Amino acid sequence: MASFSTAQLAPNVRGALWMLASAATFTAMTTLIKYLGDDYPAALQTFYRQAAGCVVLLPLIARNPVGVFRTSRPGILLFRSAAGTVGMILGFYAYQMMPLADANALSFTRTLWLVPLAALVLREQVGPHRIGATLAGFIGVLIMLKPGGEGAFTWPARAALASAFLFALTITGMKIMTRDHSTTTLIVYAAVLGLALAIPPALFVWRWPSLPDLGLLCAMGVLGLLTQTCYIKGMAIGDAAAMAPIDYTRLIFALVVGLALFQEVPDLVTMTGALVVIASTLYITWREARLGIAKTGTE
């Protein structure tokens, strides 16, 4: 009998499997964030997340310490790490305080924030299609937040939106830095600087974890790195336009886990707004892919 290898699969199928793995590990990480949230505030969880990431990266750093830390633009790296660390703290807080599905849906707005940032920071041309899709996406956000209704614009919801904006800033910074920096250098700097920046806020809420909790906190950090790795691999192997919809499966995973473990019943209005956000971000991704094909002349 002939043996089966994933290498025999089409690139988009292999990419989709990596994206599904990314969605699964991300859901596992956010489940731990919520489960540990009563005893470990977001700032402390962020510290342990970054510490675990640095430990995992130590062998990679040890192989070529000078090379991985070589940079010509330390200012942008520091800014990117600061934005990422604050964004992580705010995101963890949102996952602790909101239903998992709601926090996941609001995290997707980072794609919407990328449109104005691309125009203002990267000086990219933004046409009416992207502008219209972005505005539609933010209408979806308004539907989710139920302006004027009970619990509208809660602090956790604001934190989720601010986190998405800050992560959009880090993605914009990455686009600038990848012109003359390797992905390895960016990941190592994000982990090491992120750990250093996470220490001060963690000290304000410090507590020593029990041995089982320490294991879960470390697992949360490892899952975060696995999520990044699987996502990057999926996007590298498959077409971006085909891979983007797979990332939204984490909303389905969050709905199932939220209902099964935390008795979170999905709200119809919130899910309607989430679908509007997802539809608009998918259109933006598809449009970007089509424009990329047209520019390279391979359409």
CB under 8 Å to 87, separation ≥6 — which residues? 162, 163, 164, 165, 166, 167, 169, 170
Q: How confident is the model at residue 293 (pLDDT cuts 50, 70, 90)?
A: very low
Under 8 Å between Cβ of 19 and 238: yes
Joined tokens for residue 6: 């994933």
In single-letter form, the type of residue at position 74 comes to P
Q: What is the pLDDT of residue 111?
A: 81
- What number is the average pLDDT over the span 164-192? 83
Under 8 Å between Cβ of 224 and 53: yes
The answer to whether the Cα torsion of 175, 180, 183, 188 is positive or negative is negative
Query: pLDDT tens digit string along 69-99?
Result: 888 888 888 998 999 999 999 999 999 999 9
Neighbours of 150 (CB within 10 A): 6
For 277, list phi and psi in degrees, rounded to 5: -60, -45
Under 8 Å between Cβ of 273 and 141: yes
Q: What is the pLDDT of residue 194?
A: 92
Query: Has residue 295 got a pLDDT over 60?
Result: no
Percentage above 70 pLDDT, the chain? 90
Q: What is the pLDDT of residue 297?
A: 42
CB under 8 Å to 20, separation ≥6 — which residues? 246, 249
DSSP label at residue 3: P
Under 8 Å between Cβ of 83 and 164: no
Query: Has residue 152 got a pLDDT over 60?
Result: no
Percentage above 90 pLDDT, the chain? 35
Query: pLDDT tens digit string along 213-228?
Result: 999 999 998 898 888 8
Query: Has residue 299 got a pLDDT over 50?
Result: no
Prediction pTM value: 0.86
Neighbours of 48 (CB within 10 A): 23
For 164, list phi and psi in degrees, rounded to 5: -60, -40
Query: pLDDT tens digit string along 247-280?
Result: 888 888 999 999 999 999 888 888 888 889 888 8
Under 8 Å between Cβ of 244 and 282: yes
CB under 8 Å to 30, separation ≥6 — which residues? 95, 100, 103, 104, 254
Under 8 Å between Cβ of 140 and 280: yes
